[in-house]
Amino acid sequence: MTIQPVVIGPIETVCYIVKEENECLLIDAPAPAEGLIAKLEESSLHPNWIYLTHGHFDHVLALRELLDRYPDAKIAISKADKAYLERGGERCRESLLSIGSSLLRVYKAKDFDFPPIERYLENGDELALGFRAMATPGHTAGSMCFINEKERVLFSGDTLFRLGIGRTDLGGDYEEIVRSLEKIKNLEGDYIVLPGHGSRTTLSFERRNNPYLN
């Protein structure tokens, strides 16, 4: 399995291109889409699935262009976050404006015209390439982490960062994220942690050094 991080957009969201044999999937879909599509085209990759860690604008606004380019790709998100992708992306737009109205100039109107969702994820769902969905609400109600126990990889979205955690003032809940972090902390063994922003880390490092996991 190969995992390629791609940093995209004004707040440097990290999308991950995951490939094994003839299958490819994406973790999150930040806009502008051009850079991500260019990386896929470099290796002649066509994503089968796009798994969304949550519905905030900086993780989803490339979906329309990605599906225009790769019409066979399927989208999966927690049902608890589906509202971000409904009603013309109204709630997604709200999440953007809560950060700053100047960001609206970066994106196109069609970025908020979201394609249909193929699958609503629940805790414990088995996914492509041996991944499993783990519900980790708190940053948003439907935040998800994606775990591959064989590869010892954890895609943590905006729930867990290196030496930090996701903010909870954009539709989140601090008490919920604390419970989700406890669930992550209690995973057996070590994992490579690949967050939605910032650098990679390991779960063992975070257990020792992240004040939210102590």
CA distance 78 to 118: 11
Domain boundaries, the chain: 2-209
pLDDT number for residue 106: 82
Parts of the chain with a pLDDT under 70:
none
pLDDT number for residue 102: 80
Contacts 24+ apart (CB under 8 A), 64-72: 64/110, 64/111, 64/112, 64/113, 64/114, 64/115, 65/31, 65/33, 65/34, 65/37, 65/110, 65/111, 66/26, 66/29, 66/33, 66/36, 66/37, 67/115, 69/33, 69/37, 70/40, 70/46, 72/46, 72/48
What are 79-95's pLDDT values in tens digits?
999 999 998 899 999 88
pLDDT number for residue 146: 98
CATH architecture of 2-209: 4-Layer Sandwich (3.60)
Question: Strands, DSSP E only, in 42-200?
Answer: 49-51, 74-78, 119-121, 132-135, 144-148, 153-157, 160-161, 164-165, 192-195
- State the average pLDDT for the chain: 95
pLDDT number for residue 109: 83
What are 41-65's pLDDT values in tens digits?
999 999 999 999 999 999 999 999 9
Predicted structure pTM score: 0.96
pLDDT number for residue 189: 97
* Cβ proximity of 49 and 38 under 8 Å: no
